[in-house]
């Protein structure tokens, strides 16, 4: 009887109405809103930097200057992400997660509001560029703390919730791309369209903050967020798939063979956790390094062959670059909930990750404007197909990496594993952003 009561107490409650899953999906969306909105707004920023008169009736005159917005935006987005994700990986125990997440979201909301306000403020190109880059730096600094904290928190839930979180991040790109498309197609003036575009993430960020504050009040979420340190692996086996249960059973047998206690009361060191997940960390770094080396720096320069159609030329980059990429990336991030191949033990997995390097020359040989290279894929359809495969593989392999890593460690070390994986994810983004400067010069 006592064992039955104990088992009942340890059994996880139901996620009623999939409310926790929906909130985690929204939290994933909120973490990548800053990056996607600044990236998708490439046209607005480049036009304003080239033509001060876009936002002012004054008679400023300035020689055309190449600010290289896309490359600097990518680099100054990823450097603070890298630095502060690393800081968050080691210092997450010192500041409560609730404070980290709430403060980060509030700061991001404030910075988005500032960006929206600047739409109607006349500024010289140099000043506007400096303010924009500073905003990008600070908004991604807070985004790094937010993303690392939330990945660590999501690692406490069953593996499928990591997939939901990654899917939410994929939707952030579609959300930003559709907002950009609507602003292009709207009949409003450029200033009004840009203002509406940047107000959208303000509302979305506020919604993300409210969802996070609601999460601890749901019974299903409390079960995992407040689990006592004495909880054992059997609790997790009740909701894991048969494959995940087999992995955990194998880990249990290994611990008994080497004489390790079933569940130590002390968390493993960051180094010990890294030794268990290093391959997944290397894979997620490679995935995003390849992606950011050409997206968006190279892909936004691809032009349609139907230049005689002004309407299509106006929306080509938004549709074929950003919407196609983010839609297929979302499909890729969601696919692991249906099938997970290759497995985390398979040697095919790192080979599949490395094979994505082929997309770099393929995209550089598309119809890039003023390219120094030969164009082999001039038609729009070829570009769309390459982009679709490129983005699907990005979402699918990245999602597998993030879902596999927590399964390689004890339940107590899932938060550390999640934070470390976030750091290596951002490391890949930073490496790709740095490499994009070189590739941009080659084409």
Q: Is 160 exposed, middle or buried (0-12, 13-18, 19+ CB in 10 A)?
A: middle
Determine the pLDDT at residue 9.
52
Helical pair 159-185 and 19-40, crossing angle rounded to 10 deg: 40
Highest mean pLDDT among 87-96, 143-152, 385-394: 385-394
Question: What residues are paired with 159 via a beta bridge?
Answer: none
387-403, pLDDT tens digit by residue? Answer: 999 999 999 999 999 88
Determine the pLDDT at residue 278.
96
Average pLDDT of the residues in 316-340: 91
Task: Quote the percentage of the chain above a pLDDT of 90.
Answer: 37
Determine the pLDDT at residue 353.
97
99-110, pLDDT tens digit by residue? Answer: 889 999 999 999
155-203, pLDDT tens digit by residue? Answer: 788 878 887 887 888 788 888 899 888 888 876 667 788 888 899 899 9
Buried b (16+ CB within 10 A) or exposed e, 18-54: ebbbebbbbbbbbbbbbbbbbbbbbbbbbebbeebeb
Query: Diameter of the chain by CA atoms?
Result: 85
Determine the pLDDT at residue 229.
38
Q: Are residues 50 and 190 in contact, defined by beta-carbon separation less than 8 angstroms?
A: no
pLDDT at 89 over 70: no
Task: Quote the percentage of the chain above a pLDDT of 70.
Answer: 84
CA angle 377, 383, 384 (to 5 degrees): 150
4-27, pLDDT tens digit by residue? Answer: 444 445 677 878 888 899 999 999
**Range in 3-17, 276-290, 388-402, 415-429 the model is least confident about:** 3-17
Question: What residues are paired with 366 via a beta bridge?
Answer: 377
C-alpha 304/C-alpha 415 separation (Å) is 45
Average per-residue pLDDT for the chain: 82
pTM here is 0.75
All structural domains of the chain, each given as residue ranges with its CATH number in brackets, are 2-229+265-442 (1.20.1250.20)
Q: Which residue has the higher pLDDT, 308 or 283?
A: 283
Average pLDDT of the residues in 373-381: 92
pLDDT at 53 over 50: no
216-257, pLDDT tens digit by residue? Answer: 888 888 888 876 333 434 444 444 444 454 544 554 444 444
């Amino acid at each position: 009887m006592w064992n039955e009561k104990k088992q009942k107490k340890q059994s996880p409650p139901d996620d009623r109405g999939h409310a926790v899953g929906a909130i985690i999906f929204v939290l994933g969306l909120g973490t990548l809103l800053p990056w996607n909105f600044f990236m998708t707004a490439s046209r607005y920023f480049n036009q304003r930097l080239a033509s001060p008169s876009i936002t002012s009736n004054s008679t400023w005159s300035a020689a055309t200057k190449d600010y290289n917005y896309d490359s600097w935006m990518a680099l100054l987005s990823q450097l603070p992400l890298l630095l502060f994700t690393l800081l968050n990986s080691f210092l997450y125990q010192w500041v409560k997660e609730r404070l980290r997440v709430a403060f980060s979201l509030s700061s991001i909301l404030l910075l988005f509001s500032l960006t929206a306000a600047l739409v109607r403020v006349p500024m010289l190109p140099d000043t506007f560029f400096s303010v924009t880059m500073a905003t990008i730096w600070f908004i991604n600094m807070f985004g790094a703390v937010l993303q690392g904290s939330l990945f660590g928190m999501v690692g406490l839930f069953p593996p499928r919730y990591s997939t939901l979180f990654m899917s939410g991040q994929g939707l952030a790109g579609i959300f930003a791309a559709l907002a950009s498309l609507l602003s292009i197609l709207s009949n409003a003036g450029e200033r009004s369209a840009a203002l509406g575009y940047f107000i959208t993430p303000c509302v979305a960020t506020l919604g993300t903050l409210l969802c996070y504050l609601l999460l601890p009040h749901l019974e299903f979420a409390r079960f995992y967020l407040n689990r006592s340190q004495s909880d054992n692996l059997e609790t997790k086996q009740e909701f894991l798939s048969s494959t995940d249960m087999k992995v955990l059973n194998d880990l249990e047998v290994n611990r008994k063979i080497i004489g390790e206690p079933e569940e130590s009361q002390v968390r493993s060191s960051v180094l010990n956790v890294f030794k268990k997940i290093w391959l997944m960390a290397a894979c997620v770094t490679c995935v995003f390094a390849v992606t950011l080396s050409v997206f968006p720096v190279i892909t936004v320069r691809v032009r349609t062959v139907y230049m005689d159609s002004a309407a299509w030329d106006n929306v080509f980059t938004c549709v074929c670059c950003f919407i196609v990429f983010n839609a297929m990336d979302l499909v890729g991030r969601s696919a692991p909930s249906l099938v997970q191949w290759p497995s985390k033990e398979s040697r095919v997995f790192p080979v599949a990750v490395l094979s994505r390097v082929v997309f770099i020359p393929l995209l550089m040989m598309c119809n890039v404007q003023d390219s120094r290279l030969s164009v082999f894929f001039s038609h729009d359809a070829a570009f769309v197909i390459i982009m679709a495969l490129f983005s699907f593989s990005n979402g699918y392999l990245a999602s597998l990496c993030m879902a596999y890593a927590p399964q390689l460690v004890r339940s107590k070390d899932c938060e550390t594993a999640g934070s470390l994986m976030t750091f290596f994810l951002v490391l890949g983004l930073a490496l790709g952003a740095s490499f994009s400067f070189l590739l941009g010069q080659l084409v």
